[in-house]
Chain A
Amino acid sequence: MTDSNSPDRLKLILVDDEAPARALLRELLEDRPDIEIVAECANGFEAVKAVADSDPDLLLLDILMPKLNGFEVLELLERDIPVIFITAFDEHALKAFDVHAVDYLLKPFTRDRLDEALARARGRIGSPGPSIRELAESTDPGSRTLERILVRDGSDVHVIPVDDVDYFEADDDRVIIHSGGESRSKLQRLARMEERLDRERFVRIHRSYILNVERLSKIELYAKDSRIAILSDGAKLPVSRSGYARLRDLL
């Protein structure tokens, strides 16, 4: 055995909701002195927490899991960690893997195949790869219309149904999600958020705001060519000229 504090040791987190699958990975990885399993997680929430707590070098990540799927876990990490996906069968994801992921393992896999993936991951560490957000966004199986928004707060994960959102506010390269008087920040651009929202329910009323039209109470003229939207909870948002046009088109 090498010294467990060897700088070459890869800190790894393995995430799979099935106990036998985790046991197999553990068994195969235990023989490798260059790998240290810092956490084993059975679902996405645990994975997000474990990454925040133990700062791993590599993730072995199952895709179909309860609560959060593998893509959603990636989306929440907000930092680049090399990922090896593990899945039984998902044609949809495979295409994206070919483009972006460090590697992927198809269940069932052999020890050699796992070793190969780890070698590839080791080569990737430290070198700039595709951004993890790019990866998450390009492979998300739910990229049709967004129904729930995932926000991480430290090691806690919040799931906000889009129906509960009052409005989105741009904040540099982040989005602030306002819902029921609470606001949470997420690393994502407002334009990207807008692309994934249902256009019948959400309107970009301003460069910095997307409004849930069901929350709109009234629109007041503020100055020439400038209006403000008043929401049912009393909040006031600026409405640009083009935003007003879009709003009028929808209503």
Chain B
Amino acid sequence: MPWIRYLTVWLPLAVLLAGVAALMGGSPWPEALALALPLATVFAFLCLGAGYSCRVLPLSGTDASRTVLSHAATAVVTAALWVGMARLLGHLLERIDLFPGVVLRVSQLSGSLMALGILLYLLAVSVHYLATAREESRQAEQRILQAELSARKAELRALKAQIDPHFLFNSLNSINALVGRDPEAARQVCAGLGDLMRLNLQNGRKRSIALREEIDMVRMYLELEKVRLGSRLQVEESVQPAALGCQVPPQVLQPLVENALKHGIGSLIDGGLVSLAAQVDGDRLTLTVTNPVDPAAPPRPGTGTGLRNLGQRLAALYGGESRLVTGIDGGTYSARAILPVEGGQDD
């Protein structure tokens, strides 16, 4: 119960008061305790007023002199009230004949009690302001954390790579090229593009999809690119059946394949073979895409952004448990994403 905890905080005051009454006022210890315990309790309740006046006079926004004056005045009034109660208590104790001479001793203590009351009240005010400031800074910290979290989420959303816009323009151009000579093929490209975009939208909203679904999207993508690149694009797949059921973030394989086409096949006059591989090894899933490259290819804009985004996404999702490794060996470029296995891999 909070009020019991609140009163316990004031126990040291009771001890202090008893000490003051016994040592300064010359009260015998039982009398000192009989005075101190009720007075400490009363003061505890009086100090609730300090909390109220702190809320009315927040440190920011009011001028300092007004705040100091108000608190000083309240302190004096509160302390006077308290001393009055002490005297009343003295009279009460005298009346029941328990401690003869107590009224005198209390009145002798009045000055000290007054000073103590003012001091303690002002102390209570300070503690209150401190607690408020701490609470405010805690809330501010929380707000910052919250902001950071939503920024990170936004970042992830942004990084959730959409299909490369180049691809859209290229596909539209394929349609444009086919529509006169081969309308049926143009229709197929339109339908394929529609299917892929739809699937990409659907899957993009999910946190993870089965690798099987990701591979389906990549196949559709490659079909469309074959229209454009013709025989320059050859594809080979080597996917372990156990890997198909693994859960992966959407758009994990796509950037690797896009990269292979853009910087590999696209930079070679005769194109070449793009190999996709997926392999489960214990608790790790490895996705590998290799392609031939021209080491002396002309500079191309946007080199590496897709892969960099993917690397950041994986790092945000899995931290140190994932890796994106790229390398060139002779004329072969390989990009490898290694992630922890999630979900069933039983089929």
Contacts and interface: CB of A to CB of B under 8 A. Distances in A.
Interface of A: 17-21, 23-24, 27, 42-45, 64-69, 72, 88-90, 92, 106-109, 141-142, 144, 147-148, 159, 161
B269 A107 contact: no
A66 B181 contact: no
B301 interface: yes
B169 A108 contact: yes
Nearest to B189: A20
Nearest to A86: B173
Given A72-B298, A92-B301, 16 more contacts: A19-B230, A20-B173, A20-B174, A20-B230, A23-B177, A27-B180, A42-B269, A44-B298, A45-B269, A67-B267, A67-B269, A88-B173, A89-B169, A141-B299, A141-B301, A159-B296
Interface in B287-322: 294, 296-301
Contacts of A144: 299
Given A64-B266, A107-B173, A69 B298 contact: yes
B169 A69 contact: no
Contact of B300 (A64, A106, A107): A64
Binding site secondary structure of chain A: loop
B177 A20 contact: yes
Interface residues of B, number: 28
A44 B173 CA distance: 21
Contacts of B176: 24, 107-109
21 contacts: A17-B266, A19-B230, A20-B178, A20-B230, A21-B173, A43-B269, A45-B269, A66-B267, A66-B268, A66-B298, A67-B267, A69-B300, A72-B298, A88-B166, A88-B170, A90-B301, A107-B169, A107-B176, A141-B301, A144-B299, A148-B296
A68 B297 CA distance: 7
Nearest to A148: B296
Contacts of B170: 18, 88, 107
Given A66-B266, A67-B297, A20 B169 contact: no
Given A20-B178, A88-B166, A147 B299 contact: yes
Contacts of B175: 108
B57 interface: no
B230 A108 contact: no
Q: What are the 10 tightest A-B residue pairs by CB atom distance, in nearest-first order? A: A142-B299, A24-B177, A108-B176, A20-B177, A88-B169, A107-B173, A69-B298, A108-B173, A108-B172, A66-B269
Binding site secondary structure of chain B: helix
Nearest to A92: B301
B165 interface: yes
Interface of B: 165-166, 169-170, 172-178, 180-181, 227-230, 266-269, 294, 296-301
B192 to A, nearest CB: 14
Nearest to A70: B298
Contacts of A109: 176
Contacts of B166: 88-89
Contacts of A69: 298-300
Nearest to A65: B298
B266 A89 contact: no
Nearest to A68: B298
A155 B266 CA distance: 24
Nearest to A44: B298
A68 B299 CA distance: 9
A174 to B, nearest CB: 22
A106 B61 CA distance: 60
Nearest to B173: A107
Nearest to A145: B299
B46 to A, nearest CB: 72
Contacts of B172: 107-108
Contacts of B180: 24, 27
A66 B297 contact: yes
Nearest to B185: A20
B301 A161 contact: no
A65 B262 CA distance: 10
Contacts of A23: 177, 181
Contacts of A27: 177, 180-181
A144 B299 CA distance: 10
Contacts of B173: 20-21, 24, 88, 107-108
